Every structure is written in structure tokens, then in C-alpha cells.
Amino acid sequence: MISELFISNQVENCKIICSIEVVDTDWSWFYFGHKGCKHRAIKLQSTHDDIQLWRCEKCQVKINEVIPVFKLHLIVRDDTETCKLLLLNTVAKTIVGHEAVDLWDDSYDVIEDPELLPEQVRALEGKSFCFGIFVKSDNVRDGAATFRVLECLLVKCSCWKETARMIQKNAKHLLQNAKRKMLISQT
């Protein structure tokens, strides 16, 4: 349950089943990464008009080939709470079904309107998933409200709701039987 993420007192991996309410457009849905290692690349002032140079934050080298890399921020909800999740490239690709480069408009300009999302990214809203979450020290120590997703599986909404209904129905049935048995044993 999401509510348990906020009271966790240790660094751990856990799973939550929830629905995506909205893609958080306070952040871009991708960043430019080094084509080789996919780590963030910083745009440099170009000395040549025809070649744009970048600097890879990891490799610390100047490069001229970058690609968009997923960095999705999602607001999700279950029956207990709402939270923010961060999905990076390979995890995001599993639920979007495309590489970020396939959804990119080929522009290297700063995204002017973050509300403009590719249809495939916007289509995630309303779908349910089982997310493997990493509760890191920032979440435990500092109360950081965004959790990083390590893995995810699509949950068929009707199956998930039906399973929850069956569990609830069986729990009520078991409780009623236990009460009957208690009444019988008391007489």
C-alpha cells in the first residue's frame, strides 16, 4: 500500500498496486543522454555553427550525439494514498511500449510546453500497474515524496478489482462463519 511507503523506516524494496492518475508535467518526460551510456548530457555553447556539442555527466567527455532518454514522473493512487513515482529509461519503456527516441519530435530546443505529451505517454493515465519500488534513504531520512520504480507489471484493472472483491467477500463470509461458531459454542 502507498500509505506504508510514507511510514517506512528503512531502506528497502517493496511492491505496490496502483493506478496512474496523471503524468506529472511539472517535469519533462525525457532528458538528453549520451548515446553510448544514456547518462544525462549537458548542452554546451557551440563554437561551430553546424555541430552542437554536449558534455556527458558520467563520462565527462564532449560528445556530439545525444538521444532522448525517458524520465517519467507519475502521480499514482491506491485505496490508501497518492504518491509520486519516477521511472527511468528501461522501466518506462516497458509500460510505454516504445523507446523515447521513437516519440521525440527531433527538436533539441528546451520543451516550451510540458503539457504536450506523446499520445503513448498520456495513454498511461488510468491504467493500473504493480510497481517494484525502491524506498531509499532520502525517503526514510528526509521524507522525500518521490519513489523510484525498479520494475513494473501491467495489472488488468477488471481482474485486480475482481480479486479485491473476492478477498473482501471471502473475508466477510469467514467472519460471519466465525461469529456463528462462537454463538453456537456459547449456547
Contacts of 131 (CB under 8 A, 6+ apart): 15, 16, 17, 18, 76, 85, 149, 151, 152
Q: What is the pLDDT of residues 109-148, one digit of tens each?
A: 656 566 678 899 999 999 999 888 888 887 787 777 888 9
C-alpha cell at 126: 488510468
pTM of the model: 0.74
Give residue limits of the domains in the chain.
Answer: 2-30+72-155, 156-187
Contacts of 44 (CB under 8 A, 6+ apart): 52, 53, 54, 55, 62
Q: Which fold has domain 2-30+72-155?
A: OB fold (Dihydrolipoamide Acetyltransferase, E2P) (2.40.50)
Q: Tens digit of pLDDT per residue, the chain (187 long)?
A: 888 888 777 888 888 899 999 999 888 899 999 998 889 998 888 766 678 888 999 999 998 889 999 999 999 999 888 999 999 999 999 999 999 999 988 776 656 566 678 899 999 999 999 888 888 887 787 777 888 998 888 776 555 455 444 434 443 444 444 444 444 444 4
159, amino acid identity? C
Contacts of 74 (CB under 8 A, 6+ apart): 20, 22, 23, 24, 84, 85, 86, 87, 124
